[in-house]
Each structure stands twice: as C-alpha cells, then as structure tokens.
Amino acid sequence: MKRPLQLRLLFSATILAQLFVVTGGFAQTKHPVVNKPVPALIVPTDTVPAIINHTVENGVVKFSSVLRPLRQIAGAPEPFYSYFWEFGDGQFSFEKEPQHIYLDTLKHDVRLFATNSYDDGKRPPTRPKPLKPGSSRPILAANKLTPEQQFFKSGGSVEMKTNCMPKPGDDMMLLLGYRNKPENGVASLNGTLSLLYNDKEFNKDNFELAEARTYHNEKKASLDKYGTIAALKLSNNQPFYAAINGPNTPEADNVVFDAEGTALIKEKMLAYRKNESWKFENLKSGEEKFIFLNLKTTPEMIKDTNAVVKLTGMFIPDNPLAVTEFFTIELQIVASHDPNKMMLKNSRMNFRFTGKNKKLTYKVRFQNTGKGPAKKVDVGVAIAEILDKGSIEILDSKPKLILSKDAYANQSCLDTVSVADSMHFVFKNIYLPGMQQKGVKDADSTMGFIEYKIGFKAKPKKLPFKSGAAIVFDKNEPIYTNRATGRYKMGLSPGIIAGYGFPFKNGNTPFSGQKNITFGVSLAPYAPHRYYWQVELYASSFAEKEYLVNRMPGNDRIVPIVVDGRQQEARLKYADSLVRVKVITINIVPIQMRYNLNKYVGAGIGTLVSFNIDEQSTPSKQGLFELLKATGTAEPVTLKKSFDKISKSFNDFQNTLFTDVQVGKVHVGPSIGFRYLYTLQGSNNRLITYLTWKF
C-alpha cells in the first residue's frame, strides 16, 4: 500500500536531515558528465550532537536517538554506546530507548548523554530538546524506575552515580540522589544536601561545577555553619520538640548535638577544597529526589590515568531523629571510556613509608558487553615483581561470592589461581547478563569487579611499577585492560654536613691555605634511585686574624717616643703596617647533579659559590724600638697604634666547580664524601673531606 504523499515527503526529509547531521553535511564534487556540483558524503565528525526522537502513545513517551556511527579501535572489542537520559522533570534513565510518563503538560528540556566505548572519537555533544508531552491524559502507572534499576542500591539516604568516568578535557554528569527512608520514621523532612569535590590529595582542582539542575525547589545554601558544629536549635512550636520535652516546657534554646555527625562533617570537609550545598524541604517518607550536576574537567586536571579522584555527598537532616549520612564515590581518571578497567587506589605513594607492611588496593572492573550471559569470568592480573602474591587479601567482589574452598560442587564461587607472575580471580558458575542481551535494561547488572589488597616483598626501589589485567568471558578472546601504575611522590630529604677544608677567603689573600671546619645543610629528593638534584647551604663561617702588610727597616735612627707619659729617645729597629680582618663568609651550592651507582656509592658534580657577606678591616702601625738609657744600655720597647675600622659587604665573590664521591648509605643515612674543588678566580684548588647524614 502506498503512503500518502505528505507522509512520504516528511519521512524523506527526516532521513535526509539526520543523514546530513550525522555525516557532517555535503561536499561539492562535479558530475563526470554534466560537470555540475553534486552532494557527496563526508567522513563523520565528532561534533555531531545526538538527535533525539520521541513518540507519544496513551500518555507514554517513547524515546530513541540517532548517533554518529561508531569507529572501532583496531584490536579492541566491538564498540558500543551507553546512555543517560535526563527527562527534564527530575527523572532519568540509563536505557537505550526508554519510556517515560510526564505528570504534567509543561515544556521540558530532554537531554541525552551518550558515552562511546572502544571508539576512537569523542563523545557526541549533548543538545537539549524542548518537549511538550501534550494534553493526553497519562495512563495510571507509577512514574518510577523498574526494580532492576533502583537507584539507592547501598540502602542509604544519599547516593551518587555518574554517566562515565572522568576524562581530561571532557565533561561528566553526576546524579545526586537523596530520599527520606521510611525507617527514619519521619513523615516530612527538611535538611541540607551537599557535594564535596576537588580532594586535597591533588595540588590542583580537577573539576568545575558548570551547572546544577534542580527540579524540586532546592535552594542554594552554605555549609559553613555545619563545618563548625552540627547542632539544631529547637523551639517548642516544633512538633518533635513537644515529643521530647513535653508540651508545657517553657520555651528555651535547647541545643541537640550530633557529636558523631559533627566530627564526620569536619573530617569530610577537610579532605576537599570545594563544596556546593542545597536546602531541601518537605521530603515525604519514601520520597526520592535527584539533582543533576554537570561537572567539567579543568585544564589543570591531573593527566595520570591511574589516579583516583573522590566525590562525597552529604545528607544533613534538620530533624535529630534522622541521622547524617555520607556517600563517597571513587572515580578513575581515564584516557578512554572503556568498561574494563584496572585501578590502583592511592597510586602516588610516599616512599618514606613504603615497605613490607605497606598494602596496596587494586580494583579490576569488567562488563559483559555481549549478546548473551557469561557463566564464567576469568580475571588474570599480572603482578609486579616487587609485590608479594602470597599476601593477597580479597576485599570485595561483584557478584558477591564465597571462596571455592568453602563451596559445594557446582556452587557459584570465586577461585584464585596463582600462575608464575600472575594471579587469576575466576568467577565460576555465575550468571552475568550481556548488555546486548534481550530484556536487559539495567547496565549495572552486566558489570562486576574484584577488589583486593597486596603487599610488598621488601623495601622496593624508588621506581614506578605496573600491573595489568586480562579478562576472559567464558571461552572468548581475552580483553586487556589499561596498566595501573604505582608511582612515588618525590618527597624531600634534609641533611646535615660537616666539612673540613672550606676556605674563608679567596686564594690570593693571606687566608689562603687556611683549613677550617664548616657546618651546613642539604636538601634533595627523598631516597632517589639514580639521578637527582641537590642544593646545599653552609652555616656562616667566621674568622678573625691579624697579618703583616708591610715592614719598613728603621736603620737604627734616633727618634723621640713617649713611654710611661715621658718623652724619651730610642733607636728604631723596624716599623710594621698591620691589619686585623674579621670575615663572615657564606658558601652555597645552588646546583648539583648527583647519581647513585647503588645503595652505597654516589657521585656528583656542581658549583660552589662563596662570598663575604661582611668584612671588617682594622689597620694599625707597630714599631720595635730600643730605648736609650743614661747608663748607656738599650731596652727593647714595642709601640702600636690602631686606626678607624673599614667595613665592606658582599665582596670577594668566588665561583668554584667541583666533583665528589660519597661512600656509605647514600640514599638515606650517613656517608663520607671526598670533594675536589677547582676555583675559577684563583689557584686555590683543593680536596676537602666531609661527613653527611640524610634524613
């Protein structure tokens, strides 16, 4: 049967428009015969937004979408899209083609956030679609998620979920849900809902809150007062006040302290740099509400795709009968949106506290993206050589299983198999649905994970170490995850130095060759493996010495002198010009590159800069005389006269190159060093010996 002309034209126009958007438009080429421009398809671009389609039948809105074609990464599993729909009325869905019932006829902005996995392009941009469901009377049905898609799976009053893992340069939707649990026993609840983000473990912010969409009159609020005290002032006009104190109690400020809630709120807030809060009112018993948060990754977002960032939601009720609750979600920064991932929690470690007793926590996530269920999942993990397989402790898993040693025949269980340098976690006799399986609408049901702890064999070297996983669903080809890399923070190692042989003055002065003991400090990275930089600063050195500048012969000439207040005659033997110098010198090693050959021997090369920060010179004259007596005898007499002091600052700059060798515990601990110095401004080359201790 032929379609009506108008319907056919509308259908053709719709297909053409979608094709134009998906392919990025038309390019002009010339027809080989008529030589006229004709449209030609262009390779799909990553800027094509999702096209949202819908139909309405009996008050039920059915949604579908048109997305750009997926482009498979070579060697990867078949690519696919995952979906997050925001219906514009405070409800949502993670299904591919969801159905929804609007309880009003107002206009709503519908959004689709599609995430591409095993695809070499960017995520399709999101463009809101205004939708007015019309005046059709909705059928009688609950406007809630199906039981398989229940949001509050942890059983708490607050929970969060994202549409994807954070990717540098990308955005992410965070769904913040809160509810009044029936077990609270409170018919209507007021309170504050908060999001804490940008954990202080990282030096820079990873997220910016671009937009928060609320649908239930939540009002922006401040969390400052909760950061100091979690308390509630009650008055006797509140219904639960009378229940606690009785209806005839005089009105007064009665403060109910939630000591545990106060401590937890403070602890959580101290771990983050930013927070956003909303005040909610009249939350009925059993009612669930959601806030939609658009988080954008900042340009400064850490590029380490092994890093794990945290977000914490806080549910702070005004009613003391309901408890303060928290929900923390851990998100791995990713380079691509693939469902099979391995992550190392707290992957950047302090090497000072890393040793045999240090435990690492790994988590391997997997998802069955196939068309049928998996009965067996083998998660093979490559164990780094420095880690002890025998120390593995399983913390959690999904599906939650008992160990095979405790299971009866054919029971669902988790088996562990150690092979060479790897460990296999085998989920046996399970039923893990596939994403493309008929009737499967909840993507969470297709996912699983294994989380375990593992320790070190001994104190490791300060080098990065990697672990990866291969996941096999039944007898299919293995799917390889990313490599989770453990790295060490640089850390700082202060040290003390006592050296013998540092000069106070340049080589062209009377202080040349003077040997002195000098104390100093050093600063370097903590326990570096091979190459590292080090700076040194020596405590100000002090020296005071009088030395001869010039001696003039007296030739025994007779000169008058004053001795004991009387002028007498004496023969001058000689006259000396003297100077007394007091010097404060500082020695700095502004740059030095060192290399540890092993744990016991290290070498270095650098420059030593020395200069006087203060120099005081006091000139004087001194003469030796023979006092002539009346008896004809001569008595030797020495006379001295000092002159005004002369001061100079920041002079006698000296630059010295050096090489040295250290022997001992060159990573951390005591060692002895031998340093040869070559002075550029003179010939004062020398070898010094020093002791150093790094902490």
Q: Mark whether 269 and 281 lie in a shared domain.
A: yes
Both 540 and 641 in one domain: the answer is yes
Q: How many CA atoms lie less than 13 Å away from 81 in the CB half-sphere?
A: 23
Which structural domain range is residue 533 located in? 492-694
Residues 75 and 126 in one domain: yes
What's the CA gap between 28 and 82, in Å, rounded? 35
Out of 114, 131, 148, pick the residue that ends a domain: 131
In this structure, are residues 265 and 146 in contact, taking their beta carbons and an 8 Å threshold? no
DSSP class of 22: H
Question: Domain check: are 327 and 184 in the same one?
Answer: yes
Which domain CATH number covers 171?
2.60.40.1530
CA dist 570 and 477 (Å) reads 113
Say yes or no: 187 and 290 in one domain: yes
Q: Are residues 276 and 308 in the same domain?
A: yes
Within 10 angstroms of residue 4's Cβ, the number of other Cβ atoms is 8
Are 321 and 391 found together in one domain?
Answer: no
- What CATH number is associated with residue 379? 2.60.40.740
Are 525 and 463 part of one and the same domain?
A: no
**Beta strands in 306-376, from DSSP E residues, in sequence order:** 308-317, 325-332, 341-345, 348-349, 359-367
Q: How confident is the chain (695 residues) per 10-residue block, as mean pLDDT? A: 38 38 36 40 66 91 93 85 94 93 92 91 90 63 49 93 88 95 91 94 88 95 58 40 42 51 86 94 95 88 76 92 91 84 89 90 93 94 94 94 92 94 95 90 90 94 93 92 90 90 47 64 92 87 72 84 82 83 82 93 92 78 77 75 74 82 94 89 77 94
pLDDT for 540: 65
Residue ending a domain, among 332, 356, 387, is: 332
> 605 and 586 in contact (C-beta within 8 Å)?
no
| Cβ–Cβ < 8 Å for 663, 657 | no
- The structural domain count of the chain equals 4
Contact in structure between 337 and 115 (CB atoms under 8 Å): yes
Q: Are 630 and 594 a contacting pair, CB within 8 Å?
A: no
Question: Where is the domain boundary, 332, 355, 381?
Answer: 332
E strand segments, 399-462: 402-403, 413-419, 422-428, 447-456
Q: For residue 311, tell me if it sits in a domain.
A: yes
DSSP 235-303: -TTSHHHHHHH-TTSPP--EEEE-HHHHHHHHHHHHTEEEEEEEEEEEEETT-EEEEEEEEEE-TT---
- Residue 261, domain member (yes or no): yes
Q: What pLDDT was estimated at residue 230? A: 41
Q: What is the domain-level CATH number for residue 112? A: 2.60.40.10
d(Cα 92, Cα 98) in Å, to the nearest integer? Answer: 9
Do the bridges between strand 465-473 and strand 377-382 make them parallel or antiparallel, or are there none, so unpaired?
antiparallel
Answer whether residue 270 is part of any domain. yes
Is the same domain home to 576 and 611?
yes
Neighbours of 25 (CB within 10 A): 12
**Look-up of token digits 């060759």:** 513
Would you state the pLDDT for residue 502?
A: 55
Residues 615, 575, single domain; the answer is yes
Check whether residue 530 and residue 555 sit in a common domain.
Answer: yes
Whether residue 507 sits in one domain with residue 480: no
Cβ atoms 330, 346 nearer than 8 A: no
pLDDT of residue 29: 35
Reading the block at residue 128, the tokens are 């809101």
